[in-house]
Chain A
Amino acid sequence: MIKEKWLDLVIQNPMLIEITRFRRRYTSASATSSMNGVVVLLCIICYATLLLVVIQNRTSISPIVMIFAQTAFLTVLAPMLLYGSISGERERRSWDLLLVAPITKPQIVVGKFMGAMAALGVAVILFQVPIEIAATSYDRSHWQSVLVADLVSVTFLMCVCALTILFSARVKRSLMALGATLGSLVTILIVFPALVGLGQSGPATDAAFFLHPFVVLSRIGDRDDAISRNGAGTVGPGTSQPDFPSNVPAPWWGWPQTLTYLGLTIVLLAWASNTLNFAENEVKFLPQGHKDA
């Protein structure tokens, strides 16, 4: 059963053509992707600059800071990649061709998701170079923390991808999907923390931000610092957690969020899949003025 699902959704999913399409979109020299080419070129310049800065200051830059930067950059990039994943198909009217084909809704959603993950995967791999340089040179870094922080980052990005697909599946226009996704992320990551921060301050707010990726990464960095200053056993379960600026125990930062993000990704993808309608409900998504609208 699980093997069949795995084959159906992943190995033999025809929507994996999305990986090729993502590759083409950002590497082809064709006219329509020339703007994408400019974006890629700018990214390469930024990446080279980042690499030089990290190499020059490798002893003073924490790998967690680099993972922080990776998360921030890719959190913005992921919606850009996926906002038209389903609403764009509707606008292009290629959606009808998928609807009349014997393909399942989960196959469409998972295929779109995997295409974006492949594109983000390349970005994540590129980010690993400065992260590893910082990790090998920064004296207060610990490999286990770097690995956990990276997992937090990647799983959070998966969650962002799933959220973007969900919005793309639920709205009529691609730009609405982009706006809704970025608006939600700004609310969750900036507005909500700012509002909570106005009412409370200090470590007590950590419980409220248990799933906030940047807070999680900060706490993993703080834990590294604490371990470096006081020794490995000082921030574990049952310890007094000296120098650890949080009311949530140190071991709770990392794995729990990773698993939560994974679960949330599955829920959001399933929700997106259930949103897709294979019959007349599609009519409501047709642009106004279309003869079937």
Chain B
Amino acid sequence: MLEVKNLRKEYAGLTAVQGISFNLHPGDIFGFIGSNGAGKTTTIRMIATLLEPTAGTAILNGADIRRDTMEVRRMIGYMPDFFGLYDDVKVWEYLDFFAAIYRVPTKQRGEVIDSVLELTNLTIKKDAFVQSLSRGMQQRLCLARCLVHDPTLLLLDEPASGLDPRARAELKELIAELGRMGKIVIVSSHILPELADFCNTVGIIERGELLAFGPVSKIVTEMQPHRVLAVQVLGAAADFVGPIADMPNVLSAVAVGEGDLRVEFSGDLEAQADFLAKLVGKGMRVATFREDSADLEDVFLKLTTGALN
């Protein structure tokens, strides 16, 4: 379990992270969302023991990032937003090097390297030089490096940046598989659709402040507690605003176009069906009727202002 407690980072005259707290459990895939410069990388680097927090701490399975640095390092796999590879070694040598650093027993290293290469689909590149790999393969090699010591926590900073759609899809599947393996995965990104697909928990950060945290559906519900219905009618929408506003469960009704209405509705699905029937019963010629459900992007845009540190 990872407990982040009031983690704060100040540089000279600048507060990069303003005391954020959250907890993650095995199997959680946590999407860390924020604009460039919001504080995602700083937070990840603090958890990775690369930066010393100004205040607060994070505890991974009982090991404190400030006090038990080496123990924490043995439990984390960190993939930065750059490759940082050694070009002049072969793929298996690169992994063997990190396996040695993480004290994987010599006799087990071959087996471990084979299994992480298989997991990242790089087995055929085992004897290739790192510099000969494509960008997507290098990204997967970075992930393989993170896995050689079977870490508890994976910190992936912008893992899909610069990848083509196929490589992104493969990476998403791989991360989802790691979650199913019971690892805690923290993925940072500013590309929201990338995260919404496979993260079961998200956190939205802006100017170093954690604005929202929790499952995607919960955050969306919190941000938009009522249903929003988009109704398209034949005729002038403005003429229908008054009658609709008087109907049960309707919180507000606004004409947003020639024949388009936006209705905020507090009822359940059954009430929603009744509402449609009443509209038709009142002689309105309804062309389309749908629930306009919010997604992560809407929530993000609603919560954040785009301001940078």
Contacts and interface: CB of A to CB of B under 8 A. Distances in A.
A195 to B, nearest CB: 42
Contact of B100 (A14, A28, A30, A292): A14
Interface in B10-44: 11, 36-37, 41-42
Contacts of B36: 291
Closest 9 CB pairs of A and B: A14-B100, A94-B84, A279-B52, A93-B84, A102-B73, A17-B97, A100-B78, A14-B101, A24-B88
Interface in A105-128: none
B88 to A, nearest CB: 5
Interface in A26-45: 28, 30, 32-33
B81 to A, nearest CB: 9
Interface in B43-92: 45, 48-52, 69-70, 73-74, 76, 78, 80, 82-89
A57 B37 CA distance: 69
Contacts of B76: 100
Interface of A: 12, 14, 17, 20-21, 24-25, 28, 30, 32-33, 92-103, 278-280, 282-283, 291-292
A170 B223 CA distance: 50
Given A279-B52, A292-B41, A292-B42, A97 B88 contact: no
B101 A101 contact: yes
Interface residues of B, number: 37
Q: Is the interface of A mostly helix, strand, loop or mixed?
A: helix
A99 B70 contact: no
B89 A17 contact: yes
Contacts of A98: 101
11 contacts: A14-B101, A20-B89, A21-B89, A28-B88, A32-B131, A93-B80, A100-B78, A102-B70, A278-B69, A291-B37, A291-B41
B51 A283 contact: yes
Given A14-B97, A96-B50, 16 more contacts: A12-B100, A17-B97, A20-B89, A21-B86, A24-B88, A25-B88, A33-B88, A93-B80, A93-B83, A97-B78, A101-B98, A102-B102, A278-B69, A279-B51, A279-B52, A292-B42
Given A97-B78, A280-B52, A282-B50, A17 B93 contact: yes
- Which one of A32, A282, A292 has the greatest number of beta carbons of chain B within 10 Å? A292
Contact of B84 (A20, A32, A96, A279): A96
B145 interface: yes
Contacts of A103: 101
A95 to B, nearest CB: 8
A97 B98 CA distance: 9
Contact of B48 (A20, A28, A100): A100
Interface in B156-201: none
B101 A32 contact: no
Contacts of B88: 21, 24-25, 28, 30, 32-33
Given A102-B103, A278-B69, A93 B74 contact: no
A93 B52 contact: no
Contacts of A96: 50, 78, 80, 84
Contacts of B45: 292
A278 B48 CA distance: 11
B101 A20 contact: no
Contacts of B98: 14, 97, 101
B129 interface: yes
A30 B88 CA distance: 9
Contact of B49 (A28, A97, A100): A100
A92 B88 CA distance: 13
A98 to B, nearest CB: 8
Most buried by A among B69, B84, B89, B101: B101
Contact of A279 (B50, B70, B97, B100): B50
B56 to A, nearest CB: 14
A11 B225 CA distance: 63
A181 B78 CA distance: 33
Contacts of A278: 49, 69
B30 to A, nearest CB: 18
Given A14-B101, A278-B69, A97 B84 contact: yes
Contacts of A28: 88
A163 B178 CA distance: 44
A235 to B, nearest CB: 50
A102 B103 CA distance: 9
Contacts of B101: 14, 98, 101-103
Contacts of A280: 51-52
A20 B100 CA distance: 15
Contacts of B84: 92-97
A10 B26 CA distance: 37
Contacts of B51: 279-280, 283
A17 B98 CA distance: 10
A17 to B, nearest CB: 5
